[in-house]
């Protein structure tokens, strides 16, 4: 049984979104999940303070800050996952 040539491969059209700049997108995402930018700010702050302590020679405080940075990163990641779950549940 001979079949005709396969249909041409045409990609489906991509969805179009209204033009949204970086600032508008950042504000929208921050309103949706405000804990993620706060966690990022906290992580960077602890990291910078840890680097400053290391540079000054305070190795004990520097090690403490690096451990605090890991905890802050974990909390930020948990906030990110929680926000994604809340958005998925809300969209149903």
pTM metric for this prediction: 0.70
Residue 73, token pair as written in the block: 């990163």
- Could you tell me how far CA 53 lies from the centroid of its own chain? 27
Instruction: Yes or no: say if 38 and 29 are a contact pair by the CB < 8 Å rule.
Output: no
Read out DSSP for 47-86? HHHHHHHHHHT-HHHHHHHHHHHHHHHHHHHHHHHHHHHH
How far apart are alpha carbons 36 and 89 in whole angstroms? Answer: 18
Instruction: Yes or no: say if 35 and 77 are a contact pair by the CB < 8 Å rule.
Output: no
- Please give the chain's pLDDT, 92 residues, in tens: 567 777 677 777 766 667 888 898 889 888 888 999 999 999 999 999 999 999 999 999 999 999 999 999 999 999 999 998 988 888 77
């Amino acid at each position: 049984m001979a079949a005709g040539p396969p249909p041409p491969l045409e990609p489906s059209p991509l969805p179009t979104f209204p033009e949204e700049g970086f600032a508008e997108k950042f504000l929208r995402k921050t309103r949706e999940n405000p804990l993620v930018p706060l966690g990022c700010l906290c992580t960077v702050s602890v990291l910078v303070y840890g680097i400053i302590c290391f540079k000054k020679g305070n190795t004990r405080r520097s090690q403490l800050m690096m451990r605090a940075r890991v905890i802050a990163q974990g909390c930020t990641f948990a906030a990110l996952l929680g926000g994604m779950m809340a958005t998925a549940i809300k969209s149903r």
